[in-house]
Amino acid sequence: MQDFLEDFRQTVVNAAERLSQLSPLASETPRAADKWSPKEIIGHLIDSASNNHQRFVRAQFSDDLIFAGYEQEGWVRVQDYQGESWPELVQLWKLYNQHILHLLTRIPEATRLKLRYHHNLHQIASETLRADQPVTLDWFMRDYLDHMKKHLGQIFDAS
């Protein structure tokens, strides 16, 4: 678990440093036609943090891992991340994820590792999972970090 938490921490710290070095123009430039710009990707990751923060808290009061989804494209569109300040978006993303890391360090091991037989993670998680496959909150926490890294890779591979 300590390795995961350190990986999470380092991912946030290192990515925030790299993101802050992107110029405003680069932050607004989509990777390709019909793709999100870095601003929109970070906006999506803020939305992901917001939704998953609640999920990580709620999971500690429930025997299942069933959570509402959200319209990712719509959230990015209506919040107009392109019109936001790049440094402020990066700072919000960094601080929100530092808080999530704080939360994750406080989840008791028994809660993290408890098998959950009822979930809808096959619909909302980044990684593939069968509906009938038992899962733990620990798995979902790691999926969150994997999702973050995939999107950060989209930014850094294009810059």
The tens place of each residue's pLDDT in the chain, 159 residues long, gives: 899 999 999 999 999 999 999 999 999 999 888 999 999 999 999 999 999 999 999 999 999 999 999 999 999 999 999 999 999 999 999 999 999 999 999 999 999 999 999 999 999 998 889 999 999 999 999 999 999 999 999 999 876
Q: Which domains does the chain have, with CATH numbers?
A: 2-158 (1.20.120.450)
Whole-angstrom CA distances from 30 to 64, 83, 103, 110, 116 are: 38, 14, 33, 43, 39
Report yes or no on whether pTM surpasses 0.85.
Answer: yes
Please check whether residue 5 is in contact with residue 104, taking contact to mean a CB–CB distance below 8 angstroms.
yes
Which residue in this structure is represented by tokens 């494209």?
Answer: 73
Whole-angstrom CA distances from 134 to 83, 94, 101 are: 42, 31, 24
Strand residues in 4-57 grouped as ranges (E): none
CA atoms within 13 A on the CB side of 31: 15
Please check whether residue 100 is in contact with residue 52, taking contact to mean a CB–CB distance below 8 angstroms.
yes
